[in-house]
Chains A and B, each alone.
Chain A
Amino acid sequence: MSTPVAHGSIRRRLLLSLLVSAAVLAVVVYFMVQSVARQVAQESQDNVLAASALSILDSARFSGGQINVDLPYSALSMLDSISDERVFYAIQLGDEFLSGYQNLPSPESTPGGGPAFLSAEFLGEEVRIASVQRRVSTDIGQSFLQVSVAQTLSGQKQALARISRTSMGIGAGFFAISVLLATIVARSTIRPLDRLTASVSRRGPKDLRPVAAPVPTEMVPLVTSLNSLMRRLQHSLMRSEDFIAEAAHRVRTPLAVVRTKAEIVQRKSDDPETRAALKEMIHAIDDSSRTAGQLLDHAMVTFRLDHLLREEVSLLRMVHDTVERLRPVSDLKDIDIDATGTEDIIIDGDPILLQNALHNLLDNAVKYAPSGAQITVSLTQREGAASISITDTGLGFPEAELDHLTERFSRGANAQNIVGSGLGLTIVKEVVEAHGGKMQIGNNTGGGACVSLLFTLS
């Protein structure tokens, strides 16, 4: 089987795109928090400045045509109460400078007459200036009394640095949470795919049923294609099994006719050469007939494996029945079959398949063992498994071929002159494995073959 070529990963791509968007959002959050905070800080500073300027404006009194501004102490000290700030002010009546810092820039007055603000540089430092004014009447007519108050930005800068750190923290926290969520999302998105993979790979080799478990919409086409592929595969497999079974069946009947005819002719003939030729012919016909029979068996087994029955099977009885059924054949070859084991073991399975498997094994043993050999079938229970062992005193398996004997149509090198198809052990193995067991093939230390069937007991 060739390994598929991997190109990229959906999970990684999903994770990457989630992380990139989270990072972008984190940066956006950082700047938004900062800009809002900057605005709030600016507004609060403006409010304090405006309050200070208004309190100075309110302190202005006119007496005897002269203006008298009684600068309130708090007007300037309040600007310095939280952080150390340099503070500047200017009081102007019309164009006439009254007091304070003469060169302090003043903002354009607002049309509504409310406080006006300006950011500027004054005496070597950045300042924020608030300006308020009110209409007054003096000796020379109407004029405007204007008060400007300015403050350095060290407190505001501190606040902004603090806010910047906070918003950095918020952005980072946002990103961290997004990473966590993205990982979870990526994993849960991939999960149905993992589940499908697991359910398909968990299947037995013969399981070609369509996938029935619900899948997300996006995976429906994939599963539909998979199901359709499996249906076609199953169909084609069934057709070829049917074909083999049909062919075997059709060949077997004419072979039986030919064999009967050959036996009659053999019996009638007196010519030794003809009799020898006919004997070889009968032998070859037996071989073909047996192969056809086993092909049928195999087709039957394959069919039953697809619809495996589960009923209680008494292994002890099965062993005894099979041994008794083969007794006539073994007696002919003067082979003694001995069934040992008194304790019955019950397993769940298909009785016909199991019996067929055991029959195949015993038949093999009888067939390959020389006359006068001893075959022992023993039923034991060990380590939570039921074990049926068949040992003989025959030739044993060729050691070099132990691994290949269960492949289809494979036969031992020392069995060439004995009728056989090579399908027997294959059938046994498939049956045992379909029941969750396993088959062990080996040789006895004292010579002779040994085959064990192990069924795990629940």
Chain B
Amino acid sequence: MGSLSAASVGSGGQISRSRANMRFNALLVAGSLLAVGGLVALGPVRFALGLTLDDAWQLALIHAELALAPLLFLPVVGGRGKALENLAAAAACASAGAATVLLFSFAVMGGVGLDTRALAGVAWLAVSGLLALGARFGPHWVLRVRVLVLCAFGLPALWHYLLLEYAGASGGHLAALSPNWALATHSISLWPLLLAGALAWSGALALPDRGRA
């Protein structure tokens, strides 16, 4: 108990800084995604990526939103009260991300922006829930969870390749864990991320504060 209090006091400045970050988290999301959108519009980048300024532009932005969510969400470390603030911040981040993606609707004929909102919503739910759960245990756990989420989102495609190459088996079912892969292969399944997000947020909100424990 004493050591925990000391840790809290010692990291007080860090916590207040992270709280300030959380306040401007939506600005970070919107600014980053707008920057990505502008970057993709640059000729050399566009040609290097093989993109055109039509539906592909918004799709690239959606991929960026899904991939950057684990990096852009900055939870406040602390007790239950902070978890509630994290929940509100996560909702604001998801909303800012959605608004930025929909801003690029001028380039598309179809409704890919709206169609992917459910996927982006559950991705934000899972990412923010897991990071908020980590934030209940301290800043180091936030970093660890961030790495774990990045691995969970990024590595299934690699595992699938390795399974195909060395075991002759398909790991296609792992697409449910990786929103980018699911979007690219049109095999979107919301349940695993929804379940992970719901469980993580339940844990983050239900765990007793460490001081009281």
Partners in one complex: no
